[in-house]
Structure 1
């Protein structure tokens, strides 16, 4: 489990640096989910940093509402076996 927690901590750090906000984490049955709010406007440098961070996860996505936009990423526990 330690590897999953380390990978999630790295992802949280990368997303925090790229977005300027503190990502939220949630333990799930499958692993760890990380969500971060996206700033407006989103600079090209921030966009690249966010995409690089998301690429380290097993799954990721994007959600947009009238109020905000967020990205999410999931890291699986079973991947470390």
Structure 2
């Protein structure tokens, strides 16, 4: 199965929440069944689960990114 994009996964999640069967959503959006099942069960991503191990918090990382981007534009 080809790689999927995040928007496809979000579309599949919305489809299932709108009472479309999981198998049909998987086939239409071309996302792995196991990935969709994991997301629907609320399992956090690897990055979310291990955020406490990271040197910078998500907020700090976003602030640093914004600073670098604004400095590069100037």
* Greater length-normalized contact order (CA 8 Å, ≥ 6 residues apart): 1
Bigger fraction of residues in strand: 1
TM-score > 0.5 by shorter chain: no
Q: TM-score, normalised by structure 2?
A: 0.26
Bigger fraction of residues in helix: 2
